[in-house]
Chain A
Amino acid sequence: MARRQGYDGVVVTAPVSVPYERYSIETAHWWIARALRASLQAAGLKPLEIDGFTVSSFTLSPDTAVGLTQHLGLCPRWLDHIPMGGASGVVALRRAARAVQAGDADIVACVAGDTNHIDSFRTLLSGFSRFASDASYPYGFGGPNVNFALLTDRYMQEFNATREDFGRICVAQRDNALRYPNAMMKKPLTLEDYLNARAIADPIALFDCVMPCAGSEAFLVMREDEAIKRDLPFARIKGTIERHNAHASDPIQLRGGWTLDVDDLYDMAGCAPTDMDLVQTYDDYPVISMMQIEDLGFCEKGGAPEFLRSRDMTVTGDFPHNTNGGQLSAGQAGAAGGFIGLVEAIRQVTGTAAGTQVKDARRALVSGFGMINYDRGVCSSAAILEGTA
């Protein structure tokens, strides 16, 4: 008997990305409503016809998923609020899938969205976590840039990675973003631009950082027969994993929780890293993408710089990666940053990705990473999706 039960008969569909804006005077509620509405419209559903709802957002305060049911006129029998930042998308997917599988809900809408007011990045930063207020913000108040500068510095010392190695990821993603109309970044990026960019926190420079913006993303989870009845293109969920606070005694983060669960992931899915047609990593900084590529088995620990040097990460390349530009080029819309890769992967394996479509894409690996509670990302997650073509 397999260690974990599969997700047979449960599918994911109706992917929606509401175009991001750099700054917005609207609220998180507004952005979440837009994504939910578009996803329901795609499936021909009315708000009261869904019976499961999960939301992820940083700027919804003082409301939670509870407040949203009344605000948006929903009446779910299954409700969840997932505060896991970059890991939220996959976590929402796997919880919703189990709910549908068990009959606790028939149709679950999974939504993430955040607004970005002129000063909201700063205020968000100041109230992020207790450990951050106590033990990281007083040390220069550089936010996540500082944490990732330190991780990147350590990674470079440990594995002889160079700025060029990180730059190659950013350049390829910008190339992909130029095919994605919703991307915030519209201009090409060269390796030279990357290397000459303004330093933010050495060795992190401008193009290693995401641009905070407002936006929202959504998808629906339902039974396969429901999707067929509604004539919706859908993807099957072949395997998922989730882990928190792994390797707590590592002095600095060079690996994430994926290492503990990656064998389960591929066992469940019955496939291997080489079977993936595209990979969507959580990319708030390129070093984290490298960490995921290693921990999810594409190469050994520390081998990502070498592995990527001989690969083409663009939509038309031999290792399509973050095909809509990822957060680095499409923008980081708060908690929606934990959904962007998953929503794009659903489009990819259902053949609906339009300009960013990877040819014959059938299998996608999506990885999530979230929440720098103090000095490292605490949450990790991953999922393998498969199209029906």
Chain B
Amino acid sequence: MSDPLQPPLKKNPQKRTVSPTRPPEGRSRAALGLTAAAAEGRFALQCCAECGAVQYPPRDACSTCLSTELPWRDVSPKGTLIADTFIRATTSLYFRDRLPWRTGTVQLDLGPSVICHVHGDCEKGARVVLLNRLDRAGQGVLIATPEKRTPNMQDDPQLRAMSSDPNYRRVLITDARTPNAPALAKALRTAGAAHVFVGEGETWRPYPERAALESLGVEFLPLDVTDTSSVNRMAAEYGSKVDILINNARFLRPGGVLARGDTGFARDEIEVNYLGLMRLAQAFGPAMCARTGDGVNSAVAWVNILAATSLSNSPEMGCFSASQSAARALSQSLRGEFRSAGLRVMNTYVGPTEDDWHQPLPPPKVTANALARDVIKGLTDGLEDVYCGDVAKDMADKYRRDPKVLERELTMGGEA
């Protein structure tokens, strides 16, 4: 079993904060296929389209038949740990702060041998299951884990370094008024979050979620994402205490371009959904990036909750989805900007939710509890892209296969 994680000691202001460092980031284009699969928590390897041979390390041509058709496919992650070592010397600053580091050779049942990280509970010679996870450089890496779950397995320091586990971490949910706020706060509590802050705009105005949030023991902070000075004030006071930020602030009205007579709601959507994200990132981003090496409660993740239609738009929510696409594009820039610090940006793409604005749409719809569960799982698995609900998963599959076909499907219009 892994030693259970201990709560972080109170920070000694005299001690230097461990600087943000990251493991080696350089990869070939082919190897980024592993990263793409890890971003969604899948274990995939290249399989030759002609002879079926499974390849590792990633290649540009099959090492059995020289075919250049090497699609990535989800395959069995099982194998045997045939050798291992504890690295006690390295020139990498990232690993030097974390020695000794356990590394091993796993022979996959499918054939190839892989050099991988090794979970502390794996025994030499034992059967193992490989996970494909994003490391702090944001690149896909393989880690061998015991075939059967062990106590406190998620607390293994090497595995935790590849996750964004909320356990013992402090989380800010940016908007108390969004209907999913209580479910998120509750799930974070259950997952062991040390503290949950909830941002609250227009504090004088009552709202139904307040009572539920109060009963969860969250701390309310006055925060309005449309007000730069409010965001900056909160970041100055609490920025260094936020390890995970979940931006659930949202302004939503239905309708496409022609359904609306003016740009009024669109301005509000951009103010909250796009500029709100930008304000939050400018205010909280630097403090979080400075604390990514800070021990058990280091800053780890920035979570955006986005509509699945941010991938490809349709008239029902046309103007709102455009603001979501803008936020999605901004998140890609943020990934690049946060990468050097190792702060992960996790986008959760949600299908239609169970709330007033989506009432005209048919089921299936995503409940707040389902959303919260997927956010926690995504954090625990260290994902970068989470598709929540059947509609979002379906849309992601179609988007991957052919974005133009998806666009046409979503914009067919009704019967003439």
Please give the residue numbers on chain A whose beta carbons come within 8 Å of chain B beta carbons, in ascending order: 121-122, 125-126, 130-131, 133-143, 145-147, 149-151, 153-154, 157, 198-204, 248-249, 251-252, 374-375
Contacts A133-B26, A137-B24 given; does A202 touch B86 at CB 8 Å: yes
Q: With A and B bound together, what is the CA distance between A130 and B139 in angstroms?
A: 15
State how many angstroms separate the Cβ of A285 from the closest Cβ of chain B. Answer: 12
Nearest-CB residue, chain B, relative to A131: B57
Nearest-CB residue, chain B, relative to A119: B91
Contact between A142 and B90, CB atoms less than 8 A apart: yes
State how many angstroms separate the Cβ of A336 from the closest Cβ of chain B. Answer: 22
> What total count of A-B pairs have CB within 8 Å?
121
* Contact of B104 with A by CB under 8 A: yes
Contact digits for B98-127, partner A, Cβ 8 Å, 1 yes 0 no: 000101110100010111110000001100
Give chain B residues whose Cβ lies under 8 Å from the Cβ of A134.
27-28, 30-31, 57-58
State how many angstroms separate the Cβ of A181 from the closest Cβ of chain B. Answer: 30
Contact between B89 and A150, CB atoms less than 8 A apart: no
Contacts A133-B24, A134-B27, A136-B115 given; does A153 touch B91 at CB 8 Å: no
* Among all A-B residue pairs, the 5 with the closest Cβ atoms: A141-B92, A149-B85, A135-B57, A134-B31, A251-B107
Contact digits for B22-45, partner A, Cβ 8 Å, 1 yes 0 no: 011011101100000000000000
Taking CB atoms and an 8 Å cut-off, the chain B residues in 308-332 that contact chain A are none
Give chain B residues whose Cβ lies under 8 Å from the Cβ of A202.
85-86, 88
Give chain A residues whose Cβ lies under 8 Å from the Cβ of B26.
126, 133, 137
* Contact of B399 with A by CB under 8 A: no
Contact between B28 and A201, CB atoms less than 8 A apart: no
Contact between B91 and A125, CB atoms less than 8 A apart: yes
Contact between A138 and B137, CB atoms less than 8 A apart: yes
Taking CB atoms and an 8 Å cut-off, the chain B residues in 400-416 that contact chain A are none
Contact of A145 among B31, B89, B92, B105 (CB under 8 A): B89
Q: Write 22 A-B pairs (CB below 8 A) sorted by A numbering.
A: A125-B91, A126-B24, A134-B27, A135-B57, A135-B114, A135-B115, A138-B141, A139-B103, A139-B115, A139-B116, A139-B117, A146-B85, A146-B115, A149-B85, A149-B87, A150-B115, A153-B85, A200-B88, A201-B89, A248-B63, A251-B113, A252-B107
* Contact of B200 with A by CB under 8 A: no
Q: With A and B bound together, what is the CA distance between A128 and B116 in angstroms?
A: 19
* Contact of B84 with A by CB under 8 A: yes
Contact of B105 among A130, A143, A154, A200 (CB under 8 A): A154
* Contact of B265 with A by CB under 8 A: no
Contact between B113 and A140, CB atoms less than 8 A apart: no
State how many angstroms separate the Cβ of B220 from the closest Cβ of chain A. Answer: 42
The count of residues in chain B whose C-beta lies closer than 8 Å to any C-beta of chain A is 41
State how many angstroms separate the Cβ of B296 from the closest Cβ of chain A. Answer: 21
Contact digits for B54-65, partner A, Cβ 8 Å, 1 yes 0 no: 001110000100
Given contacts A138-B135, A142-B87, A252-B105, 16 further A-B contacts (CB under 8 A): A121-B91, A130-B57, A134-B57, A135-B31, A137-B24, A140-B92, A141-B23, A141-B94, A142-B103, A150-B104, A154-B82, A157-B124, A201-B88, A251-B107, A374-B57, A375-B105
Contact between A139 and B141, CB atoms less than 8 A apart: yes
Contacts A141-B91, A142-B90 given; does A150 touch B57 at CB 8 Å: no
The interface centre, meaning the residue of B24, B86, B111, B137 with most chain A CB atoms within 10 A of its CB, is B24
Contact digits for B121-157, partner A, Cβ 8 Å, 1 yes 0 no: 0001100000000010101010000000000000000
* Contact of B95 with A by CB under 8 A: yes
Give chain B residues whose Cβ lies under 8 Å from the Cβ of A142.
85, 87, 89-90, 95, 101, 103
Contact between B83 and A154, CB atoms less than 8 A apart: yes
State how many angstroms separate the Cβ of B28 from the closest Cβ of chain A. Answer: 5
Contact between B113 and A252, CB atoms less than 8 A apart: yes
Nearest-CB residue, chain A, relative to B98: A140
Give chain B residues whose Cβ lies under 8 Å from the Cβ of A248.
63
Contact of B83 among A125, A133, A150 (CB under 8 A): A150
Nearest-CB residue, chain B, relative to A142: B87
State how many angstroms separate the Cβ of B150 from the closest Cβ of chain A. Answer: 21
Q: With A and B bound together, what is the CA distance between A181 and B240 in angstroms?
A: 59
Contact between B87 and A146, CB atoms less than 8 A apart: yes
Give chain B residues whose Cβ lies under 8 Å from the Cβ of A126.
24, 26
Nearest-CB residue, chain B, relative to A203: B85
Contact between B87 and A201, CB atoms less than 8 A apart: yes
Q: With A and B bound together, what is the CA distance between A356 and B414 in angstroms?
A: 92
Q: With A and B bound together, what is the CA distance between A64 and B183 in angstroms?
A: 63
Contact between A200 and B95, CB atoms less than 8 A apart: no
Nearest-CB residue, chain B, relative to A245: B63
Contacts A133-B24, A134-B31, A153-B84 given; does A141 touch B90 at CB 8 Å: yes
Contact between A146 and B103, CB atoms less than 8 A apart: yes
State how many angstroms separate the Cβ of A384 from the closest Cβ of chain B. Answer: 33
Give chain B residues whose Cβ lies under 8 Å from the Cβ of A137.
24, 26
